[in-house]
């Protein structure tokens, strides 16, 4: 019983982490910065935003005693170069660095995380009902 609870709780935590990573990637997907090795015309803007957002991928692996371990991996390459001459972070040629994020993939990750969370919550609910039934039968 304890292993089942442990497994479900680790699944809940992993789902929460996966959802958080996907949301962070989506929120920052339009953040621009100067392309690597170049400087924006306005040095103040370059100083404020020269470091691009590094998107993450969420990974999971099985624990030896049940459940999952959750970890984040930086996406490689972290950014792509896009032509946007009107962007304040554009270099002399008009290019900016944008995070390597696909919003559609991230929404899919959010859906998977939500479904995994619901499944683990249902397992905990079923374990609770089973324990209540057991206590009604044998706890008297």
For CA atoms 117, 118, 119, 121, the dihedral sign is positive
CA 14 to chain centre: 10
CA 76 to chain centre: 15
If one counts every other C-beta atom within 10 angstroms of the C-beta of residue 51, the result is: 10
Q: What pLDDT shows up at residue 63? A: 87
Nearest to 26 by CA among 96, 99, 76, 75: 99
Q: What is the mean pLDDT of residues 5-11?
A: 91
Give 86-103 pLDDT, tens digit per residue.
Answer: 998 899 999 999 999 999
pLDDT over 80 (residue 7) = yes
Residue 139 DSSP label: -
pLDDT band for position 22 (cuts 50, 70, 90): very high
Give 28-85 pLDDT, tens digit per residue.
Answer: 999 988 776 555 555 454 444 456 789 999 999 998 888 899 999 999 999 999 999 9
């Amino acid at each position: 019983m304890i292993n089942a609870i442990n497994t479900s709780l680790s699944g809940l935590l992993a789902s929460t982490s996966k959802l958080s990573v996907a949301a962070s990637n989506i929120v920052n997907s339009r953040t621009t910065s100067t392309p690597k090795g170049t400087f924006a015309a306005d040095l103040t803007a370059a100083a404020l935003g020269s470091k691009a957002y590094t998107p993450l991928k969420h990974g999971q692996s099985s624990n030896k005693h049940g459940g999952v371990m959750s970890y984040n991996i930086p996406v490689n390459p972290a950014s792509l170069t896009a032509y946007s001459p009107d962007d304040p972070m554009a270099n002399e040629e008009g290019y900016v660095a944008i995070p390597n994020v696909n919003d559609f993939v991230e929404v899919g990750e959010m859906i998977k995380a939500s479904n995994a969370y619901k499944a683990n919550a249902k397992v905990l609910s079923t374990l609770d009902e089973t324990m209540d039934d057991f206590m009604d039968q044998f706890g008297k």
